[in-house]
């Protein structure tokens, strides 16, 4: 698999490419399946449908890897939290984590078992996916999940979780430790079900100042990485802490690929991390609105990463109103421009 070879730093005939959120609303085929499933959570919980939308970008766009269709919040859902997705508001928990009793009530082993629908989606997808295409599993990082769980949904201020961080850090560490234990079991279940690599998304890493990032985010991500590498050393691990360009000098750990978000100059990431890790990214997602902008973006990144270990991706998820034509143009252009 060219994607796995690239993750492990091996020479490849071209730079492999995939896109975060590539199974999503910009594809009419995805919307058709989602409507058939009933709602977003139902789509996540029905393996037949989840497998179908996971495979769509491979068939339609020609990406080099499929990423499992699911959502990071199925983990707190199965830990016992009440999750719903509200149009215009996003995910909401009616029972956010407020007290020690709330933390104690969170299930670990039971949650990992109840995520069986995800494991079934993986098995179905891997059966249908071409042998030369990789399947990526994923989870949200403990900090990102804990933020949702404590805030009760999305946030712009991080007021509740950061109040805890500075006024009651022990409580926050209890939440993070419990989430970390579930994620270890969850990713292990994904690997045993057939994924070829895993990615840990820390979408809200940039909410933390440097010291707090390494204590409350990175420490737990690396705990998961060490656990997986101890048991599954052949499975590549990708980390994606969004918006931490100022902390790259201190990034270290047992992972293979560092995902570079679009706000971090790829040249800077190469200087700081390129000699130790494969880099993934980092084209600005809105460049996909224009073929001219796609050309410029691909050219820029390809020139900097030439002869370096690299996987092409966007610097965050593809947006829902991007045209399929432009998405395919991006994938084809990367293949063409990076061919040896």
Break the chain into its structural domains and give their ranges. 2-337
Output the average pLDDT for the chain.
97
Q: What is the mean pLDDT of residues 144-162?
A: 96
Q: Which fold has domain 2-337?
A: TIM Barrel (3.20.20)
Task: Report the alpha-carbon distance of residue 252 to residue 233 in Å, rounded.
Answer: 17
- Given a cut of 90, whether residue 89 has pLDDT beyond it is no
- pLDDT tens for each residue of 100-113: 999 999 999 999 99
pLDDT of residue 173: 98
Q: What is the mean pLDDT of residues 114-128?
A: 98
Nearest CA to 236 among 39, 44, 72, 4?
4
- pLDDT tens for each residue of 169-180: 999 999 999 999
- Give catalytic residues, as residue numbers: 21, 25, 34, 71, 148
CB count in 10 Å sphere of residue 249: 9
CB count in 10 Å sphere of residue 321: 9
pTM tops 0.95, yes or no: yes
Which residue blocks in 85-168 are alpha helix, DSSP H? 100-105, 109-114, 116-128, 142-151, 159-167
Burial (CB count within 10 angstroms: exposed 0-12, middle 13-18, buried 19+), residue 168: exposed
**DSSP 3-state percent helix, strand, coil across the chain (nearest 5):** 55, 15, 35
CA 306 from chain centre, in angstroms, equals 25
pLDDT of residue 88: 80
Confidence bin at 256 (pLDDT 50/70/90): very high
pLDDT of residue 340: 81
- Given a cut of 90, whether residue 190 has pLDDT beyond it is yes
Confidence bin at 254 (pLDDT 50/70/90): very high
Strands (E), the chain: 65-67, 83-86, 90-93, 134-140, 197-202, 237-241, 257-260, 278-281, 310-311
- Collect all residues with Cβ–Cβ distance below 8 Å to 249 and sequence separation of at least 6: 272
Residue 170 · residue 177 · CB < 8 Å: no
pLDDT of residue 82: 96
Nearest CA to 143 among 86, 68, 214?
214
pLDDT of residue 259: 98
């Amino acid at each position: 698999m060219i994607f796995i070879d690239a993750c492990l730093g091996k020479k490849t005939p071209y730079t492999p490419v995939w896109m975060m959120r590539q199974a999503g609303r910009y594809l009419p085929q995805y919307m058709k399946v989602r409507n058939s499933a009933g709602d977003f959570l139902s789509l996540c919980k029905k393996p037949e449908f989840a497998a179908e939308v996971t495979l769509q970008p491979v068939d339609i766009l020609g990406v080099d890897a499929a990423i499992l269709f699911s959502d990071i919040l199925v983990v707190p859902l199965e830990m016992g939290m009440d999750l719903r997705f509200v149009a215009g508001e996003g995910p909401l928990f009616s029972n956010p984590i407020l007290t020690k009793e709330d933390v104690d009530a969170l299930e670990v082993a039971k949650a990992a078992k109840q995520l069986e629908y995800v494991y079934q989606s993986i098995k179905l997808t891997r059966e249908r996916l071409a042998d030369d295409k990789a399947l990526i599993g994923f989870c949200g990082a403990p900090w990102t999940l804990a933020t949702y769980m404590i805030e009760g949904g999305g946030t712009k201020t991080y007021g509740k979780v950061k109040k805890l961080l500075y006024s009651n850090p022990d409580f926050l560490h209890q939440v993070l430790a419990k989430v970390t234990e579930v994620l270890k079991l969850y990713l292990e279940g994904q690997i045993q079900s057939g994924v070829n690599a895993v990615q840990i998304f820390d979408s809200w890493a940039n909410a933390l100042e440097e010291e707090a990032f390494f204590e409350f985010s990175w420490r737990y991500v690396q705990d998961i990485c060490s656990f997986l590498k101890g048991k599954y050393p052949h499975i590549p691990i990708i980390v994606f802490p969004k918006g931490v360009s100022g902390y790259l000098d201190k990034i270290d750990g047992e992972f293979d690929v560092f995902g570079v978000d679009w706000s971090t100059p790829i040249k800077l990431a190469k200087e700081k991390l390129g000699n130790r890790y494969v880099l993934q990214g980092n084209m600005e997602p809105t460049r996909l609105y224009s073929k001219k902008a796609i050309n410029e973006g691909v050219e820029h990144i390809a020139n900097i990463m030439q002869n370096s270990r690299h996987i092409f991706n966007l610097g965050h998820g593809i947006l829902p109103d991007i045209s399929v034509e432009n998405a395919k143009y991006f994938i084809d252009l990367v293949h063409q421009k990076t061919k040896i």
